[in-house]
């Protein structure tokens, strides 16, 4: 799993490659990173307690309850996708890093 710092750096690189590295979009990246952290906290809770868990009612009886982290994780994920869309980032528009293997492969193909 990618580290938060790497994700943020990657998003900033994408802004720079698009010539859109301005305060407004940096703020959106900060928002994205907040949702990213919350999303991963929800995932950790789901791994720990599961999608459902047993709890005790006010009457003292055990019952199965849905883990609210499942719904919250979905909300965070949707908001992260919306932020990426607002930044104009998708698999079709992402700029490959200059030092990636793909860039080297493209250079090698040009030599043919």
29-86: per-residue pLDDT in tens? 999 999 999 999 999 999 999 999 999 999 999 999 999 999 999 999 999 999 999 9
- Residue 2 is predicted with a pLDDT of 82
Burial of 82 (0-12, 13-18, 19+ CB in 10 A): middle
Is the pLDDT at 98 greater than 60, yes or no?
Answer: yes
Cα atoms in the Cβ-side hemisphere of radius 13 Å centred on 7: 16
- Residue 94 is predicted with a pLDDT of 84
DSSP lists the bridge partners of residue 56 as 62
pTM for this one? 0.79
Angstrom distance (rounded) from CA 14 to CA 37: 20
Local confidence band at 96 (pLDDT 50, 70, 90 cut-offs): confident
The residues spanned by each domain of the chain are: 4-110
SS3 21: coil
């Amino acid at each position: 799993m990618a580290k938060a710092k790497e994700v943020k750096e990657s998003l900033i690189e994408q802004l720079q490659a698009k010539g859109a590295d301005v305060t407004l979009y940096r703020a959106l990246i900060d928002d994205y990173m907040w949702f990213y952290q919350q999303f991963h906290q929800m995932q950790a809770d789901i791994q720990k307690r599961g999608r459902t868990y047993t709890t005790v009612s006010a009457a003292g009886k055990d019952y199965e309850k849905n883990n609210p982290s499942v719904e919250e994780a979905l909300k965070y994920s949707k908001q992260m996708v919306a932020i990426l869309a607002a930044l104009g980032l998708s698999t079709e528009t992402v700029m490959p890093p200059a030092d990636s293997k793909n860039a080297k492969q493209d250079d090698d193909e040009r030599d043919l």
